[in-house]
Amino acid sequence: MTIINLRDFYYWYTQDEYIEVSDDVAEALRASVRYEAAYQRRLSRHKAQYSLDCDDGIEYSACLRELTPDEVLELKERFCRLWNVLNSLPEIQGRRIDACIILGKSVKEVARAEGVHEESVRQSIQRGLERMKKTF
């Protein structure tokens, strides 16, 4: 059995916390730390931390963090709730919020396309967003 300091292996431990683990577990934790250190050395040797516009993909992999399954599920659920709330709005409000907020069109463009005054589009969007906040 080996005594290890959890602070050496987990960043969220702010104080020393010693536990006794089997030799296999201790070696696996040490191997993980060595692997991470080697990865960081490879990134710095290939200057991945300095340049974000090279074409070899190292920068992308260095900046990319894969979502956990829980995060993916949470995003899907949030999208479904948002979609349902948007569909529960009156058609005009939903269409205007979709155009301005989701598609990124300006209020002026939406007003011109619908043949109405800009202020009515702006107020409609504001009322729709407040209604969405209440139900979301």
Q: What is the dihedral of CA 46, 48, 52, 57, to 10 degrees?
A: 70
Across the chain, mean pLDDT equals 85
Q: Which residue has the higher pLDDT, 107 or 136?
A: 107
114 has pLDDT over 80: yes
Judged against a pLDDT cut of 90, whether residue 133 lies above it is answered with no
User: What domains sit in the chain, N to C, each tagged with a CATH number?
Assistant: 2-63 (no CATH), 69-135 (1.10.10.10)
Instruction: Measure the CA–CA gap between 72 and 83, rounded to whole angstroms.
Output: 16
pLDDT of residue 111: 93
10 pLDDT higher than 90: no
DSSP string, 60-125: HHHH--PPPHHHHHHHHHHHHHHHHHHHHS-HHHHHHHIIIIIS---HHHHHHHHTS-HHHHHHHH
What 3-state class would DSSP assign to 45? helix
Q: Would you say residue 21 has pLDDT above 60?
A: yes
Residue 61's pLDDT is: 67
Look at residue 48 in the predicted model and tell me its pLDDT: 59
Q: Tell me what pLDDT residue 80 has.
A: 92
Q: How far apart are CA 97 and CA 31, in angstroms?
A: 52
| 4: confidence class by pLDDT, cuts 50, 70, 90 | confident
Average pLDDT over residues 25-35: 91
Tell me the pLDDT tens digit for each residue of 36-79: 889 888 877 776 555 555 566 666 666 777 888 999 999 999 99
